[in-house]
Amino acid sequence: MAKTDINDFRNIGIIAHIDAGKTTTTEGILYRTGLSHKIGAVHEGETTTDWMDQERERGITIVAASVTCFWKGKQINIIDTPGHVDFTVEVERSMRVLDGAVVVFDGKSGVEAQTETVWRQATKYGVPRICFINKINQIGGDFYKSLESIHARLSKKAVPVHLPIGFEKDINGIVDLVEMKAYTYSDFTDKELVEGEIPADMVEKAKNARSLLVESAVEADDELMMRFLEEGEDSITTDELKVALRKAVISGELYIVSGGDGRGVIVQALLDLMVDYLPSPIDKGETWGTDLKSDDTISRKPSDDEPLSGLAFKLTNDPFVGKLCYFRVYSGVLKTGSYVLNASTGEKERVGRLVRLRADKREDIDEIRAGDIAAIVGIKNTTTGNTLCDVAKPILLENIDFPEPPVAIAIEPKTKQDQERMSLALQRLAEEDPTFKVATDPETAQTIIRGMGELHLEILVDRMKREFKVEANIGAPQVAYRETVKKTAEAQGKFVRQSGGRGQYGDVHLRIEPQESGAGFEFVDEIKGGVVPQEYRPAVRAGIEEAMASGVIAGYPVVDVKVTLFDGTYHDVDSSEMSFKIAGSIGLQNVVKVAAPIIMEPIMKVTVTTPEDFMGDVIGDLNSRRGRIESMEDAYGAKEVIAFVPLGNMFGYTTDLRSMSQGRANSVMELDHYAEVPPNVAEEIISKRGKKSEE
């Protein structure tokens, strides 16, 4: 394969709400770039990027799939991401390594709940975006109404670069506002767009829209802005407008908007926007990280001549080649057979094989160069978010943050044969997915798995059955409750044991204070005068952290507290690290008891879109689940209800919602925050926890 110049790379994510048409648009791109011979239909399970059995059966994207295609001399590495909130981790890690994104909107619905989530994720990582309003050729599809919803809910800086010609089923092309030409087709399956004049009834609208586009673009260039103000729009040439638009899009000052049918020939116009206006690795500039030798902040330029640096952003277990590690190279060249340093763990890794990916198909390559995305086969000790770099010039890049999974279920193997296989399967799945956690409940000895939602866990259990041949029984979903304190308090933790000869002696005085939600644990050492020797203080902290794993009310982890060690005593002979660790553990238990401990529960942000006929039932049901209605808005002929509801009351909600709305309402749910549990509910939780312990 010919080497691609780094200026000609485009690393792009396709992101959207579920069912907006991401995968279909990706299929259209692969067809138009010659990578596939036809456009696969999602509902028939024929798509390239939805390759897992579960994806094809359910008609949804579950894992982000990477494909590489070429358009007008540019190499486009595309990642098709899931839209369902349970798999939002796939979007998060993709955004971390991508240079640009295409946000796909359902033209019949505009901005939806998960659109806002993926938009926020792209903003978090500073990813430039272009907007593609899909399905405007279908009944109810409306380019301008969808654009209004983008302005209202996402950004006022979204400006059309194309206007659709026609309405709904009569759409047959676009007006290009940069070139001021029309590009039409007779059928969406046509091979090429036909260049022509703008329809007479659209000339005035196109001129007004172009004026807005020019005005928005020149704001990114002071010289053009002055000329625009002094000499008017006609003084800006087409080439100058393109340069200004590109600059504005890459800087995040502007989001250009197009629209059409993601299956059709109009995708060629979208591909042109991707290569013309989304950034190359050179445009994104240097990458920053920490020098492991000096702890200084250092950078790596996007160049083959720089030392190697890159990020492992995804792991999968391929049935044919084993462990696949998706890898983005920021600088240098990664070659087969070379040794690299995992800067996150300090271990060296040998690179066996490198492959270019086309969803679940692979093509062997000899090297991955700066700016490219590919996969390493057979790498052993690397996980998601690890930095791989030059052994002689190590750098640690910023990791990827993942949310804590709020939903848990108990799982147990059906037979003894399944026992060993289940352990291996869970380990492999946890390696792939950072939001999937496996633990053993110390009280019941049950294996507990945690995930982002019921669908997330359901898919993982299904994968375990199919890929690893493990049959398992599933327990009822559990909620990841937490404990914390409401007031500041002080208490002593003392451990004394005499058993003939040398004994054990540790004595600490602790102060506990509540912190903001999400602040985590903070330990403060205020010891003066050596009443607790320096060498024992880390042991005190270790004892406190160990005790925090099991709270005093119902045994849930203690979170969001500040614990201060301010006094204590020690014995010259009997004191040891172990005695002070135990004293710290006892002290934490004692001080939590007197600091008004409370149980916290995860509160979910629930967005329900429902026909108005079922509005009363939906709101009544949410109220019965202890929900707090935040807002009710019109949403394209339906009503959108946003509520905050405790997770413990939301299990099975999707099924209940379908029942009460004759299948016409849908919902999206994501973790928003933790809040105090009401006293009557706390009593129920404590009672259930007690019964579980007795069993």
When pLDDT is cut at 50, 70 and 90, the band that residue 445 belongs to is low
DSSP string covering 193-260: PEEEPPPGGGHHHHHHHHHHHHHHHHTT-HHHHHHHHHH-GGGS-HHHHHHHHHHHHHTTS-EEEEEE
446 touches 410 (CB < 8 A):
yes
16, pLDDT greater than 60: yes
Q: What is the Cα–Cα distance from 13 to 492, expressed in whole angstroms?
A: 54
Strands (E), 366-442: 367-369, 373-377, 387-389, 395-397, 407-413, 437-440
Radius of gyration in angstroms for the set of CA atoms belonging to the chain, rounded to a whole number: 29
601 touches 675 (CB < 8 A):
yes
- Of 138, 149, 152, nearest to 108 by C-alpha is 138
The mean pLDDT value of the chain amounts to: 85
pLDDT at residue 389, as a whole number: 93
Least confident of 57-71, 179-193, 473-487: 57-71
pLDDT in tens, 52-84: 454 444 454 444 567 888 899 899 988 877 655
**Mean pLDDT for the stretch of residues 153-173:** 91
pLDDT at residue 269, as a whole number: 93
pLDDT in tens, 237-258: 999 999 999 999 999 999 999 9
384, pLDDT greater than 70: yes
3-class SS string, 475-541: EEEEECCEEEECCCEEEEEEEEECCCCCCEEEEEEEEEEECCCCCCCEEEECCCCCCCCHHHHHHHH
117 burial type by CB count under 10 A (0-12 exposed, 13-18 middle, 19+ buried): buried
pLDDT in tens, 200-217: 999 999 999 999 999 999
Least confident of 5-19, 257-271, 681-695: 681-695
412 burial type by CB count under 10 A (0-12 exposed, 13-18 middle, 19+ buried): middle
pTM for this prediction: 0.71
When pLDDT is cut at 50, 70 and 90, the band that residue 2 belongs to is low
**Which residues partner with 177 through β-bridges?**
none
167 touches 140 (CB < 8 A):
no
44, pLDDT greater than 50: no
Output 407 or 98, whichever has higher pLDDT: 98
Question: Could you tell me the domains of the chain?
Answer: 6-282 (3.40.50.300), 287-397 (2.40.30.10), 407-475 (3.30.70.870), 484-595 (3.30.230.10), 601-681 (3.30.70.240)
pLDDT in tens, 296-333: 999 999 999 999 999 988 887 776 777 788 889 999 99
pLDDT at residue 692, as a whole number: 55
pLDDT at residue 236, as a whole number: 87
484 touches 499 (CB < 8 A):
no
pLDDT in tens, 617-674: 999 999 999 999 999 988 766 788 999 999 888 877 877 887 888 767 777 777 888 9
pLDDT at residue 55, as a whole number: 43
pLDDT at residue 40, as a whole number: 45
- Of 272, 220, 288, nearest to 251 by C-alpha is 220
**Which residues partner with 669 through β-bridges?**
606
pLDDT at residue 36, as a whole number: 59
Query: Distance of alpha carbon 52 from its chain centroid, rounded?
Result: 20
Least confident of 423-432, 459-468, 631-640: 631-640
pLDDT at residue 656, as a whole number: 84
pLDDT at residue 528, as a whole number: 85
Q: Amino acid identity, residue 57? A: E
When pLDDT is cut at 50, 70 and 90, the band that residue 39 belongs to is low
557 touches 549 (CB < 8 A):
yes
pLDDT in tens, 580-615: 999 999 999 999 999 999 999 989 898 888 888 889
**Mean pLDDT for the stretch of residues 541-565:** 92
Token code pair at residue 21: 């048409």
pLDDT at residue 475, as a whole number: 79
pLDDT at residue 488, as a whole number: 95
Q: What is the Cα–Cα distance from 383 to 372, expressed in whole angstroms?
A: 19
Spell out a b/e string for 39-60, using b for 16 or more CB atoms within 10 Å of the CB, else e: bbebeeeebbbbebebbbebbb
Q: What is the Cα–Cα distance from 140 to 259, expressed in whole angstroms?
A: 14
**Which residues partner with 356 through β-bridges?**
363
